[in-house]
Structure 1
């Protein structure tokens, strides 16, 4: 008999959600997490950054209160108090996850674990057997070999822990992590520059929305199409040297430099290669049911390389556990549909989207039509932000069938509304279907309705 029904390696979003679902079903589950349950997202990623961004937004709202008839004097950004709020938030949520896992009968061990074969996992030197193994080891920051970077840059974890707000911050990389941190510290008064290799920030985003995001972030200077060549100087006064889009040599000096060029699956020391798991571009290859090539071994989350988002890890965990629980009873049916995984960027302003961008749709050979409408058509948006605030909704739909293929949003509450857009794509609604949906008034979500009437008009 196996020691456990399922052993899960990694306690991030994918790992702990799988443990919760399986524990709820009465299975014997071992969750091995060498560090703190919650993984990168809960401890040094999604949650702490959103806590600090909320503090920054509150600070900016106080400074801008006169626009809404609220006059506040003596407003200060207290970084140590913000850090305390962040720590309290993280501690509360980590404690809640651990308590829920124990309530569901999940055994948690804070030890390093590695898969050693089908149904076998080594935990702190001892090999345990299980009917199923789920690998959920997450991802880690990419540190490119730029001359002089060692000792002169911090990653996202390091920047979360700085003791003072940087006066001058240079961010290398214009992806989600880089843009969110740039927005955060600019809102708190830092002089911020972002150096990005590509011609636009947030390359996964529809270019119309990405350019509007960039224009809407106040206090940040973006250097696009630029290649970082080297770093020099002393900690606290580091010079970032780069070649700009015209081939000219440029330099920026800052007291803090963030390296934010992306993340990669965490494979080292997982045992994946040695156990015989198929690897593709440094990630564990899985099918749409989260199965690997080894019987009874599954992988979820960032380690698959399919989508490096916490909510994608949640969905992968749900798919894997649903299929594990259905074995021997009904044919497994839950599968990953990557085109309906939403994204969200919690900068100031926020943005979110789901489905295909216009260029992605065209690259697939689809004949599409698009429409962009400003959010000042929403009464609530104007009441809370003013006419000039950045905000827009873009719809992408197939020209012939009128099926909606993408919904992209910039502005207040975009991440909170995007689930509705996901439902539109999951159910393959047409523009005509979308026009029949009743949106409550006044809400910012009415921007989606306005866009549905602007397209094919």
Structure 2
């Protein structure tokens, strides 16, 4: 049978862009549909604009720290509107750049919502096209809970970059890295920040010492972290937004008034209106799906079922990225997309490994990790696990007067001497862990780390001097 395209990609985010360009490089006729700006979550409303705001927020610390090094004290002022305008302009520039790269690769961009009419037919607006293979790369979207005031008065990570004014009083609801990062950003920019979390600690899934070190430092920096709390409603009052919250341990109710409320409680795959019901693509439900809010009729932790080759349960339909809910990181989506294209169009069948993937939290202090955390390692290897750690004040703060601490930690299997995990909290943690991740990916042992000469004086050298 003849088709309009060899490959049709739904979603021009990180995974879809990578897959479409790689497939086109093999000679495939490719089209990609996108209803939003080209670039996806990362470029438009995620890691890129977020990191720019992280950079902006750090200058407040630099002004303070400089005094200890002999610089005269200054009274800086901050222009929120200038920052968000420049961030928005950069996002649009990058989106246009991705469009030009698609054109250069020979990929046809079709703007609009795409939905499946059958396993080989896609409708985009009033246009119908056919494709031999279809790749779903629609990503995810931030969710809000079904409580009074959430829909009308709160924002998500999508809207925070476009606020016309800086909220002087800011509340973040959530315990994941997005809530943590924006709490730190807004705090450093001068807002009064409160963060509500359901448990004792945030950043679930990270090493316990990362969790405690980051949280304790944020509290020390002036962020009001409210643990074991639940927000049942948000109301608009004369002088802002009134947030009602419950202390689950004390069983008490309290209220605060803020100017903006960020919900960062999770993200849901963008599976609505795709027409999946017209195919045999299977949707899987993860554990505890009943306790999470719904988005467009799907629970937040539902995802497209795929195998290691990103194949769905429909023979010619594939899926990559956040809509598969494997590891929701931009570089992972990119590598999944390229592996799919190599396998299906490049005569190079290969599987992308989801093991030993490094990640970072751009909090203040920054945190980064690769491999197993201590509890995961002990669960898998038991008493064979040996921990090496160092916690100290970095040289940078010798003259600042601040009681900042760095944590460096290795998790080692004493039977094989293999390093199973590496964790760090401190300045430039992400830059440091990237190099360490190469060592772990190659199966480095503690002896390999010990045999490596450190760069002195640096924080990174601690990874090769731990005893």
Q: TM-score, normalised by structure 2?
A: 0.90
Is 1:369 matched up with 2:386? Answer: yes
Correspondence list, 1:313-324, <5 A: 313-324=333-344
Correspondence list, 1:410-449, <5 A: 410-449=425-464
Secondary structure at the counterpart of residue 133 of structure 2: strand
Contact between 2:68 and 2:400, CA under 8 Å: does it hold in 1? no
Give 1:258 shift: 1.0
Contact between 1:152 and 1:235, CA under 8 Å: does it hold in 2? no
Deviations 1:63-98 (A, max 9, x none): 432122222523111111111221232123222222
Is 1:131 matched up with 2:145? Answer: no
Contact between 2:454 and 2:462, CA under 8 Å: does it hold in 1? no
Tell me what 1:401 maps to. Answer: 416
In 1, the alpha carbon distance for the partners of 2:335 and 2:56 equals: 29
Q: TM-score, normalised by structure 1?
A: 0.92
In 2, the alpha carbon distance for the partners of 1:124 and 1:407 equals: 48
Tell me what 1:240 maps to. Answer: 243
Contact between 1:413 and 1:444, CA under 8 Å: does it hold in 2? no
CA distance change for structure 1 residues 384 and 364 in 2, over 3 Å: closer, same or farther? farther
Secondary structure at the counterpart of residue 446 of structure 1: helix
Is 1:254 matched up with 2:274? Answer: no
The runs of at least 4 consecutive aligned structure 1 residues that moved more than 4 Å come to 381-387
- Which ranges of structure 1 fall in alignment gaps of 5 or more residues? none
The equivalent position to 2:278 in structure 1, one of 274, 277, 280, is: 274
CA distance change for structure 1 residues 105 and 436 in 2, over 3 Å: closer, same or farther? same
In 2, the alpha carbon distance for the partners of 1:256 and 1:124 equals: 36
Deviations 1:294-319 (A, max 9, x none): 11211111000112221221121122
Secondary structure at the counterpart of residue 16 of structure 1: helix
Give 1:406 shift: 1.1
Give 1:130 shift: 2.2
Correspondence list, 1:60-71, <5 A: 60-71=61-72
Secondary structure at the counterpart of residue 353 of structure 2: coil
Contact between 1:196 and 1:224, CA under 8 Å: does it hold in 2? yes
Tell me what 2:358 maps to. Answer: 342
Give 1:248 shift: 2.2
Say what the alpha-carbon RMSD is for the aligned residues: 2.1
- Which ranges of structure 2 fall in alignment gaps of 5 or more residues? 286-301
Tell me what 2:329 maps to. Answer: 309
In 2, the alpha carbon distance for the partners of 1:125 and 1:350 equals: 47
Secondary structure at the counterpart of residue 229 of structure 1: strand
Give 1:398 shift: 1.6
Give 1:231 shift: 2.1
- Count of residue correspondences: 446
In 2, the alpha carbon distance for the partners of 1:250 and 1:372 equals: 40
